[in-house]
A and B are shown apart, each in its own frame.
Chain A
Amino acid sequence: MPTPALTDTLQRVELADGVEIHLRIAGPAARSVAWLVDCAILLVCYTLLGIAVTYLSSWIGNEAGTGFFFLSLFLLNWFYNVAFELGPRAASPGQRLLGLKVASISGGPVSPQQSIIRNLLRTVDFLPFGYLCGLGSCLFTRRFQRLGDLVANTVVIYAGTEKPGAQLSLAHTAPAPPPVPLSREEQAALLQFFERAPQWSDQRKLELATILEPLTHARDAASLDQLARMNAWLLQLGSTEPAQTPEAASAATATP
């Protein structure tokens, strides 16, 4: 396996069964938007609370209404996120809207302690204003953790899988073996190239195919065609015996 890139939103986690799962870590941008949505929701909550207290006060008296207001304020301020994170979706409404959820670092659900710690420490993450501390911490940790996440050992991940894009039809491609044996990483790069190809413009496909000139001895469309044949061959074979000469076609590793 190659050394993992420094910034990779895919985090490998090894479960007790020895199997590796991949968590897709959410970055500060998505989390900020989720936070803004939550802010808007809280704002609506405060407004509704104010109205509710005004009505309630005429029922149960002014003092009791004010008391109710303080109690609700306390719970909303400190436990809004905790309540949602411990729910079945493990996400505040804002996070849910953006398809995020909070998880323990192993991908498991957050425990009540973890959730309380990470949300109480928002006070510090918010300093000096607008979650600047949290943002700084996010940018300097591998898993985009703010300070509260670091202490509670939690991460914010994307819930669910990426929507699969259009699939490339390879029915009419005649399979052809690559001229040199490809290593596992090279095979993976080639397969992923064609899995992702439908998302790119034609120019981009040709540009990337041309980088592989040392392997295909062709440029542009001809190179792409050759690569498609190798891809079809790999798919048809469905086996990836380790290559004997890993140094061959080293340029192939430069693919996406």
Chain B
Amino acid sequence: MTALRLALLELRRFRGRPLRCVVLGLVVAVPILVGGLALWSQWDPYGSTERIPVALVDRDTGAVVEGRHIDAGAELAGQLQAGDAFDWHPVTETEAIRGVTEGDYAFAVVVPADFSRALAGSERPHVTVRRDDSNGYLSGVIADTAALDLRQQIDTAVYVTAAKAAVGDLTRLDTGVEQAAHAAGDLTDDARNTADQADRLHTGLTDLELAAQRLSEDVADLRGDIRPAESTLAGRWPAIQSDSRAAAELTDGFAGRLSDIHGLLCDGDTGDACRDLDAAVADARAIDDGVTTLDEDIQSLSPGGGGVTDGRIDDLVAESQRLTGDTAAARTGAERLAEATDDFASESGGLADTLTGTARSLPAMDPARNAAIADLLGSPVDVRNVNAHPADVYGRGMAPLWFGIALWLFATAGYLVLRSCNPRALAGRTRTATIALAGWLPSLPLAVAAVAILYAAAGLGLGLDAVDPVATVAVALSGAAVFTAVGQLLRLVWGGMGGVAMLVLLTVQVPASGGAYPIQTSPAFFQALHPLMPMTYLVDALRITVTGGEPRRLWQAVLVLAVFGVAALLASTLVTAYRRRWTVARLHPVTLP
């Protein structure tokens, strides 16, 4: 309670004079000034490379291969300018050198005069990237990052040029293959229709077979009771005759149609599809013949007309049985036919697909398509990235580190303005722990305001879009509280020089926290410091709350952070106890003006 009231008194020191309020306001604004501005300025540098001016020099004079002129340089230039990796400026080499030297261009890509010749001569052609790190080292690093893309563009150009040199006018070939693919597609449709018809034929024949069977049974019954049967048969006969006629016409038409397809497609061709088709045509002919014979039989028979004798009936029975057998044979044939045409249809469908694929894989006028093919050819293995918790943009990935830096500087600035402890309490009778606590508590309301402003700016202004906003704010707040406890401790120990110590700690902590580059890439010094620095744990915890991650790791980080805070407060208490007696050095502190 005493600690709270003393903390309140500490803050009340800043009332009254406007300038003193402004100072306190500046402390609160430190995080947004540091973290907010830094994050804003580099929120998405890799997403804005298309604004980086880059010179493009094409000195390629081309080459003649087997009578054909090729120009890989022009191809490359076109390819690069079609993409939006950079803001390309096609210029002369002199201008490019001048521009790079004077900083007008971040770097220049120079295609040498013998680029096409080297390519035609099966040498390894080269492209020069002229950089000048006085234009900013990182624009070069971005160039390196984009070099993969650049390489792919170069690969594409080389591939297209080489293909042109090998096959000549690709556009025509491309068009031809596309037409062939279309034709094959049409053929497939035809074959599908045919297969449908064969199916229908099969169904028709099945019906016919059933009718013939019934007929044969009826005829057999005639032996017993000829009259009624005769009249029944006579009644049914015209229907049977017309069914049979229709079947004969169907098979005839089908066989003719199939034969036409065969003639169209397989003129002297001996491919698998054609052989199948051949067999199908033969089948269709055989069926047609069978059905036609059957039909003729049926048409010639005339059960009506009276005067039917036993012998005639016997004939009729035999005839009808033969009819049943023939129809069954025809049905089986039709079944086979249906399968064959179906097979053909799927095969010609495959052909159509292959042709379409070929047409697509041929170099064309579309740079994006060419790039995709070159990529496929150049990197046969695709690396698939599975990112459990993607940060998406640079700024979002760097936010935890910048939050850490911002809050550390907040703590530093805070204890340049706030007193580490109340001197009258120190000389008075207040308990030591209370004094230490009362020195730390005034920083908390400032931390709440500072974190709120920082998070509002990052969340609403920049689109931080934290996975867990509440946890992010809570973690940032605990980070600020721990950092201010450290700031208070250093101010207690070194007085005014405590701020300097905080800055030194910051410079050590930032590389040691592993917030930018993986800690494994840092020298052993920083790796040794990595687990000993509070910022490490703040960055770890914020990463999980901002981009997501294992909650167990979050709790671990927060716990370690809390241990740092408690340790700092305990140390502050011990230092406060020691400082209840002054020394000459403290009465006459040696500080810079």
A binds B: no
Q: Which residues of A contact B (CB under 8 A)?
A: none
